[in-house]
Amino acid sequence: MARKAKIMHNIHRKKLVIKYAAKRNELLKKIKDPSTSFEEKQSCRIKLDSLPRNSHPNRVRNRCNLTGRPRSVYRKFGLSRLSFREMALKGEVPGITKASW
């Protein structure tokens, strides 16, 4: 089980990403637009740099929804390989059965 503080940090980061997504996208569009002036691009870059670090999507870590484990998490299920295996064997994941041939 991951430390609760790490899990809470990740939740806080997810909220920040959602909060600043529109502003970040708007600034990035202005920066990438070839018709904007150099000075305007510079001011947009400064505004973009002033946004919180944790508002960037790259800083969010995929974690297991049950245990908080940060590695080997299946995106489709939101579970780590260990939690996924346990739940699949119990039949708690719909549509998943153990292969046998």
Digit-coded pLDDT (tens) for 24-48? 999 999 999 999 999 999 999 999 9
Domain CATH code at residue 85: 4.10.830.10
Q: The whole model's pTM is what?
A: 0.78
**Measured between alpha carbons, how far is 1 from 18 in angstroms, rounded to an integer?**
26
Helix axes 4-32, 38-50, angle to 10 degrees: 170
Pair (57, 12) in one structural domain: yes
Task: Report the chain (101 residues): mean pLDDT per 10 consecutive residues.
Answer: 86 95 95 92 94 93 92 94 94 89 87
Domains in the chain: how many in total?
2
Pair (31, 1) in one structural domain: yes
Q: Which domain holds residue 86?
A: 62-101
**Measured between alpha carbons, how far is 13 from 11 in angstroms, rounded to an integer?**
5
pLDDT of residue 2: 72
